[in-house]
Amino acid sequence: MRALADLGRSALREARHGGVRGMASDMELRSVAAEAAGMARLTDRRLQGEIDHAMTVIDDYPAVFAAWVERRIERGHVDVIVRVGTGVPDEVRGSFADAAIDVCERDVPSRVRGALELLAARVHPRSFTERHTAAAAERCVRVFHGSDGMSNLVANLPTVIAVGMLDRLTQMGQSVKDARVATGPEDGVDAAGSSAGMNATGATGATEMDAAGAEEPTDTRTMDQLRADILGDLVLGGAPVVDPTYGADRAGGLGAIRARVQVTVAAETLMGRDEHPAEAVGGALIDAETARELAGQVSEWDRLFIDPVTRTPVEIDTYRPTVAMKKLLTARDQHCRFPGCRRAAIRCELDHTIDYALGGHTHLLNLAHLCQRHHSMKQFTRWEVRQVGGGVLEWTSPLGRLYREDVPTPAVCFTTDTTDTTDPPPDDRTGGTTPPEPPPF
């Protein structure tokens, strides 16, 4: 932790030595973090976060750091104290830290957060209402990709809104479950399958026949599944239609999507000939059925031609050159081309590797996607980049280290079936002419 803090301080000293402040100072810290991240094989965002955390602990909470070094508290305690103390003003941070150490010495890290939050509220000079107003200004929604085609949607909302949303989703889900009961077995037969007042010997056969003849429920979703489905429909469709996809001719919630989602799917998968996953640029995989449902809602497709050796996009068929250039670069780059960054290309900016003002051309060999963070780093720090051909970028750090950024390899790729290369015999009904090739999609 000391080494990380020293690294951050050296970056700030370098910035002050150069007479820079504000954004330029932050750029110096970003540059140093990117340099160290390359050597540690981490993303620069993660390493900068660790540097910031180390500087906060050592510089803002020296008593907490000392208690950790002396093994009076654990690393988990340190992290909780820093997180809870984020909103504590400088003038009362020392007293908060001393009291927090006393709390942490008596309990394990997983059980001290509540007590520390109460402590932070007591020492804070501002009222809870004032602090809530400021915190509400930071409300946001984030997506974190998981595995098996699933992702987590995380919303930072005022507590009353979040609790109200969960309650309404629960009520809607319960309505669906109640509807199952209303359409269940006819009255006169209870859940155990025996009629009221019937003896065990005289009604067994009839009861079993009734139970066997009753239809199995078609909706077997749990409450958690119902809440998730209703939330998706409310957000995408604007109405609490629980699941119109089942038994309908067209997709329900999926058909309402109007957001930009860049998806790569093989033609074989699109036609239903295999079940290979599609790829949503940014690292997430999408199951084949979902990809086909999304495909049915779009009016325009772009066919990519993939180099069979390098497996990189080399051409896209369209009649508008400027739009084609953007689409080809989006398909080629997939994400920000700074080493280690996975920000999707549709969220990035097209950057002239050689600046346009310095004579750089608007050409495929002089363009690459960079996110706003790394676009700014290229402009305002000593990081340099050049294109060496084939979409490969070569980055040079301020210390002279080289980082090669190859063209991302698509997880989904068009391949050629070479198992049968013989032409079929001509069809006599067509006069010996070869039938036209089927469309690619």
* Cα(328)–Cα(326) distance, integer angstroms: 6
Q: Does residue 416 fall inside a structural domain?
A: no
Could you write out the DSSP letters of every residue in 232-284? HHHHHHSS----TTTT-SS-STGGG--S---EE--HHHHTTS--PPEEETTTE
Provide the pLDDT for residue 28: 79
Q: How far is CA 11 from CA 18, 19, 339, in A?
A: 11, 13, 20
**Residue range 88-130, pLDDT digits in tens:** 888 999 999 999 999 999 999 988 988 898 888 888 888 767 7
Provide the pLDDT for residue 238: 67
Q: Does residue 131 sit in the same domain as residue 9? A: yes
Q: Does residue 9 sit in the same domain as residue 109? A: yes
Average pLDDT of the chain, as a whole number: 76
* Cα(23)–Cα(46) distance, integer angstroms: 19
* Cα(415)–Cα(243) distance, integer angstroms: 36
* Cα(55)–Cα(57) distance, integer angstroms: 6
Q: Does residue 240 fall inside a structural domain?
A: yes
Report CA dihedral (32, 38, 43, 48) to the nearest 10 degrees: -20
Q: Does residue 95 sit in the same domain as residue 18? A: yes
* Cα(263)–Cα(79) distance, integer angstroms: 38
Provide the pLDDT for residue 35: 84
**Residue range 336-352, pLDDT digits in tens:** 999 989 899 999 998 98
Q: Does residue 98 sit in the same domain as residue 166? A: no
Q: How far is CA 230 from CA 159, 169, 184, 236, 244, in A?
A: 20, 7, 22, 10, 11
b/e string for 396-406 if b means 16 or more Cβ within 10 A? Answer: ebeeeeebebe
Q: Does residue 65 fall inside a structural domain?
A: yes
* 278 within 8 A of 412, measured Cβ to Cβ: yes
Q: What amino acid occupies position 260?
A: R
Q: Does residue 165 sit in the same domain as residue 133? A: no
Q: Does residue 162 fall inside a structural domain?
A: yes
CB within 8 Å of 17: residues ≥ 6 apart: none
Q: Does residue 248 sit in the same domain as residue 340? A: no
Task: Give bridge partners of residue 368 from the DSSP assignment.
Answer: 351
Q: Does residue 336 sit in the same domain as residue 369? A: yes
Provide the pLDDT for residue 190: 44
Q: Which domain holds residue 319?
A: 313-405
Give me Rg for the CA atoms of the chain: 30
- Hey, CA dihedral for 109, 111, 116, 121, is it positive or negative? positive
Q: Does residue 78 sit in the same domain as residue 128? A: yes
Q: Does residue 9 sit in the same domain as residue 110? A: yes
Q: Does residue 292 sit in the same domain as residue 395? A: no
Q: Could you list the beta-strand ranges (E) of 33-150.
A: 140-145
Residue in 30, 22, 306 with CA at minimum distance from that of residue 11: 30
* Cα(280)–Cα(171) distance, integer angstroms: 33
Provide the pLDDT for residue 122: 84
Q: Does residue 249 sit in the same domain as residue 363? A: no
Provide the pLDDT for residue 339: 92
Q: Does residue 9 fall inside a structural domain?
A: yes
* Cα(328)–Cα(264) distance, integer angstroms: 12
Length in residues, the chain: 441
Residue in 415, 388, 158 with CA at minimum distance from that of residue 268: 415
Number of separate domains in the chain: 4
Q: Does residue 114 fall inside a structural domain?
A: yes
Query: Around Cβ 240, how many Cβ atoms within 10 Å?
Result: 14
- 23-40 and 372-380 helices, crossing angle to 10°: 100
Provide the pLDDT for residue 408: 86
CB within 8 Å of 18: residues ≥ 6 apart: 24, 28
User: Which contiguous run of DSSP H or E holds residue 9?
Assistant: helix 2-17
Q: Does residue 121 sit in the same domain as residue 149? A: no
* 391 within 8 A of 332, measured Cβ to Cβ: yes
Q: Does residue 214 fall inside a structural domain?
A: no
Provide the pLDDT for residue 173: 87
Q: Does residue 281 fall inside a structural domain?
A: yes
Structure tokens at 312: 């990189």
3-state secondary structure at position 154:
strand
Which stretches of the chain drop beneath a pLDDT of 70?
A: 16-25, 128, 182-217, 238-262, 281-285, 297-322, 357, 411-441
Strands 278-280 and 392-396: unpaired
